């Protein structure tokens, strides 16, 4: 049906009319512009909510039947219809392709009306797409979080396996990317394990605020039908029901929390990627990536490129972008629902997809990396990584730390001039720096001692690391 205004615009070529059907036709006399219809549609991406949308509709139907709003017969028809739609959607991905629905909610409702006729037109009683979409997204995200925590744990498992199979390996620890102090390779693995433990906890914590039922808030004011929200929550596995209908339909904090938690996972994966990339260069020579996760060069035959880790590092940026776009989208929105919020889904979906694939690829890289332990050990024993040990030795003999620092600094300069390491000085040379130095200094300057003395909780001493590793393993299993 065209009104005069649309006809005028159409005649002047300023709009192109669409013949699409929608859920809110009654109020309108004019047709929508085709460009706008496409612009407005979310079905291209929110079809991912299909299964949870049907599940939530099944629960809504039950609650309407219990409240006496639907007859038993109507509820039965709706339930069977929804089940048929769900089965078909799962079995046949092409089911969605030719459809021009505005969004997943209108898609399911149209299919239901096609299938069972009038009772299908009653399903939307007492509900709005505003509480419906919030419910769907929470259901979807709950599953997504459950999936990701498993993958975070799998990546942690890969780190522990790697550490446990290289208990003797050492490498130089760096600060400012300058050789600093020797560390156990397992200690390095456990550093990443810790980051992922926090990520795991953040996801689990975020899930608590995801798992609250908005359905029953309707458009914004709450529903006038006597549905039992608690029982809907139980049926859908929510922990509780939302306490304020206005907030329930306009809250997307849970999306921001999820994408922020995802951003930190990407920060950690990206740092891991950077370490692995550096350590796999000829310059470092500590790691060799498996052929399974590297690529060659189309031109330079000798190349083995760490594309897997570079993509993980690169993809971090997309998730940070989603985090920013969600915050910017929500900021300044008046209460309650606004269509701006439709932009939430792609940010959430793509963050999930990205984190999921990056965790998987990183775990594969870790499971297949080869260590060049000789090279790692050589690097950990060259470049004065034991200078701090010498300073601590002088402190143990009574010298104030500041003076010890100064003395060792001079020793390093001298060693550099002669192209030797500190342990290669003769005892006389060392004593010319300080009379406090005795023969026992050479033991202190060994790699073994440098590691063994870091025996406080959290340090890199082999026994301490072995205990930390065992603890990490039991946390992961527990
Ligand atoms: N596709 C919409 C979204 O994702 C569903 C909710 C629409 N609600 C509305 N009042 N137009 O947010």
Q: State residue 416's pLDDT score.
A: 97
Atom number in ligand 1 closest to CA 219:
10
Supply the pTM of this predicted model.
0.93
Last residue in a domain, options 62, 94, 121: 121
The values of phi and psi at residue 295, to 5°, are: -130, 165
Give yes or no for residue 7 having a pLDDT over 70: no
Tokens 């509709």, located at residue: 57
The percent of residues in the chain predicted with pLDDT above 70, rounded, is: 95
220 Cβ inside 6 Å of ligand 1: no
342 Cβ inside 6 Å of ligand 1: yes
Q: State residue 20's pLDDT score.
A: 56
- CATH at residue 92: 1.10.275.10
The values of phi and psi at residue 172, to 5°, are: -70, 135
Mean pLDDT of all residues in 160-184: 98
Closest protein CA for atom 7 of ligand 1: 129
Mean pLDDT of all residues in 206-224: 98
Maximum Cα–Cα distance across the chain: 104
Separation of CA 167 from chain center: 29
- CATH at residue 433: 1.10.40.30
Q: State residue 292's pLDDT score.
A: 83
Give yes or no for residue 456 having a pLDDT over 90: yes
CA distance 14 to 388: 76
CA distance 430 to 391: 12
Strand-pair category, 287-288 with 170-175: unpaired
What is the whole-number distance in angstroms between the Cα of residue 129 and the centre of ligand 1? 6
Q: State residue 13's pLDDT score.
A: 58
CA distance 277 to 424: 33
Do residues 410 and 281 share a domain? no
Do residues 308 and 254 share a domain? yes
Give yes or no for residue 3 having a pLDDT over 70: no
The values of phi and psi at residue 271, to 5°, are: -70, -40
Atom number in ligand 1 closest to CA 341:
12
H or E segment to which residue 181 belongs: strand 178-184
Do residues 155 and 292 share a domain? yes
The values of phi and psi at residue 287, to 5°, are: -120, 155
Q: Does residue 103 contact residue 71 with C-beta atoms inside 8 Å?
A: no
Catalytic residue among 176, 224, 298, 426: 176
421 Cβ inside 6 Å of ligand 1: no
- CATH at residue 319: 1.20.200.10
Q: Which of 401, 400, 404, 408 is nearest to 384 (CA)?
A: 408
Atom number in ligand 1 closest to CA 103:
1
Q: What secondary structure does DSSP assign to 331-378, as a single string?
A: TTPPSS--GGGGGHHHHHHHHHHHHHHHHHHHHHHHHH-EE-HHHHHH
Do residues 141 and 117 share a domain? no
57 Cβ inside 6 Å of ligand 1: no
Closest protein CA for atom 11 of ligand 1: 339
Angle between helices 462-477 and 185-210 (to 10 degrees): 30
The values of phi and psi at residue 116, to 5°, are: -120, 0
Do residues 193 and 223 share a domain? yes
Give yes or no for residue 2 having a pLDDT over 60: no
The pick from 57, 103, 214 for probing ligand 1's pocket by mutation, whose C-beta has the most ligand atoms within 8 angstroms, reads 103
Burial 427-446 (b: 16+ CB within 10 A, else e): eeebeebbebbeeebeebbe
The percent of residues in the chain predicted with pLDDT above 90, rounded, is: 89
103 Cβ inside 6 Å of ligand 1: yes
The tokens describing 265, both together, are 């996972």
The values of phi and psi at residue 175, to 5°, are: -130, 145
Q: State residue 293's pLDDT score.
A: 81
State the CB neighbour count (10 A cutoff) for residue 22. 16
Q: What is the CA radius of gyration of the chain?
A: 31
Catalytic residue among 165, 297, 396, 432: 297
Residue 257 burial class via C-beta count within 10 angstroms: exposed 0-12, middle 13-18, buried 19 and up: buried
Give yes or no for residue 420 having a pLDDT over 90: yes
What is the whole-number distance in angstroms between the Cα of residue 331 and the centre of ligand 1? 18
DSSP assigned state of 305: B
Tell whether 25 is covered by a domain: no
Mean pLDDT of all residues in 214-221: 98
Q: State residue 16's pLDDT score.
A: 66
pLDDT band at 4 (very low <50, low <70, confident <90, very high): low
The values of phi and psi at residue 37, to 5°, are: -60, -45
- Residue 27: which residues within 8 A CB-CB, separation 6 or more? none
The pick from 342, 344, 345 for probing ligand 1's pocket by mutation, whose C-beta has the most ligand atoms within 8 angstroms, reads 342
pLDDT digits (tens, 9 = 90+) for 284-318: 999 999 888 888 888 888 888 999 999 999 999 99
Last residue in a domain, options 376, 411, 445: 376
Do residues 370 and 383 share a domain? no
Domain count, the chain: 3
pLDDT digits (tens, 9 = 90+) for 13-35: 566 666 556 676 677 878 889 99
Last residue in a domain, options 344, 376, 408: 376
Which residue range(s) make up the domain with 240? 129-376
Tell whether 370 is covered by a domain: yes
Tell whether 418 is covered by a domain: yes
CA distance 232 to 223: 14
CA distance 464 to 35: 65
Do residues 241 and 278 share a domain? yes
Do residues 71 and 97 share a domain? yes
Do residues 114 and 62 share a domain? yes
Do residues 165 and 261 share a domain? yes
Tell whether 445 is covered by a domain: yes
Q: Does residue 381 contact residue 447 with C-beta atoms inside 8 Å?
A: yes
Residues in the chain, overall count: 478
Mean pLDDT of the chain: 94
Do residues 208 and 235 share a domain? yes
Mean pLDDT of all residues in 380-392: 96
Mean pLDDT of all residues in 382-408: 97
Closest protein CA for atom 4 of ligand 1: 342
Tell whether 315 is covered by a domain: yes
48 Cβ inside 6 Å of ligand 1: no
130 Cβ inside 6 Å of ligand 1: yes
Q: State residue 24's pLDDT score.
A: 67
Do residues 67 and 207 share a domain? no
CA distance 151 to 59: 30
The tokens describing 361, both together, are 């690829």
What is the whole-number distance in angstroms between the Cα of residue 147 and the centre of ligand 1? 26
Task: Tell me whether residue 297 is one of the annotated catalytic residues.
Answer: yes
103 vs 24, 133, 138, 398, CA distance in Å? Answer: 13, 10, 17, 76
H or E segment to which residue 170 belongs: strand 170-175
Task: Tell me whether residue 187 is one of the annotated catalytic residues.
Answer: no
Q: Which of 299, 280, 271 is nearest to 199 (CA)?
A: 271
pLDDT band at 1 (very low <50, low <70, confident <90, very high): very low
133 Cβ inside 6 Å of ligand 1: yes
pLDDT digits (tens, 9 = 90+) for 49-105: 999 999 999 999 999 999 999 999 999 999 999 999 999 999 998 999 877 899 999
CA distance 106 to 100: 10
Q: State residue 295's pLDDT score.
A: 83
Tell whether 24 is covered by a domain: no
Tell whether 27 is covered by a domain: no
Tell whether 26 is covered by a domain: no
Mean pLDDT of all residues in 334-349: 98
């Amino acid at each position: 049906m065209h009104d005069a205004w649309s006809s005028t615009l159409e005649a002047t070529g300023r709009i192109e009319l669409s013949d699409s059907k929608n859920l809110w036709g009654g109020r309108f006399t004019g047709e929508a512009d085709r460009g706008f219809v496409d612009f407005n549609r979310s079905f291209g991406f929110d079809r991912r909510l299909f299964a949870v949308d049907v599940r939530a509709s099944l629960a809504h139907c039950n609650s309407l039947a219990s409240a006496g709003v639907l007859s038993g017969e109507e509820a039965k028809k709706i339930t069977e219809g929804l089940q048929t739609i769900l089965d078909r959607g799962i079995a046949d991905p092409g089911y969605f392709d030719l459809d021009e629905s505005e969004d997943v909610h209108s898609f399911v409702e149209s299919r239901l009306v096609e299938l069972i006729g009038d009772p299908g037109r009653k399903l939307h009683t007492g509900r709005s797409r505003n509480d419906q979409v919030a419910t769907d997204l929470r259901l979807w995200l709950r599953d997504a979080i459950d999936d990701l925590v498993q993958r975070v744990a799998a990546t942690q498992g890969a780190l522990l396996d790697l550490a446990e199979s290289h208990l003797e390996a050492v490498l130089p620890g760096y600060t400012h990317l300058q050789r600093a102090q020797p560390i156990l390779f397992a200690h390095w693995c456990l550093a990443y394990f810790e980051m992922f433990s926090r990520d795991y906890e953040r996801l689990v914590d975020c899930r608590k605020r995801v798992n609250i039922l908005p359905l029953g808030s309707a458009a914004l004011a709450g529903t006038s039908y006597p549905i039992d929200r608690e029982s809907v929550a139980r049926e859908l596995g929510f922990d509780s029901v939302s306490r304020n209908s206005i907030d329930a339909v306009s809250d997307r904090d849970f999306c921001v929390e999820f994408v922020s938690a995802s951003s930190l996972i990407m920060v950690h994966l990206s740092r891991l990627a950077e370490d692995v990339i550096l350590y796999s260069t000829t310059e470092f020579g500590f790691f060799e990536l498996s052929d399974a996760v590297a690529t060659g060069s189309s031109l330079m035959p000798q190349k083995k490129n760490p594309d897997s880790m570079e993509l993980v590092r690169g993809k971090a940026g997309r998730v940070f972008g989603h985090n920013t776009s969600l915050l910017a989208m929500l900021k300044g929105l008046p209460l309650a629902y606004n269509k701006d919020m439709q932009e939430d889904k792609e940010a959430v979906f793509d963050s999930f997809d990205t984190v999921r694939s990056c965790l998987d690829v990183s775990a594969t890289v870790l499971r297949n990396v080869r260590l060049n332990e000789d090279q790692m050990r050589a690097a950990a024993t060259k470049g004065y990584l034991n200078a701090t040990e010498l300073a601590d030795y002088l402190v143990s003999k009574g010298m104030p730390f500041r003076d010890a620092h100064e003395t060792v600094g001079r020793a390093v300069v001298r060693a550099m001039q002669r192209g030797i390491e500190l342990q290669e000085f003769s005892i006389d040379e060392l004593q010319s720096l300080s009379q406090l130095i005795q023969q026992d200094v050479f033991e202190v300057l060994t790699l073994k001692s440098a590691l063994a003395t870091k025996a406080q909780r959290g340090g890199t001493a082999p026994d301490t690391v072995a205990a930390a590793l065992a603890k990490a393993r039991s946390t992961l299993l527990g």
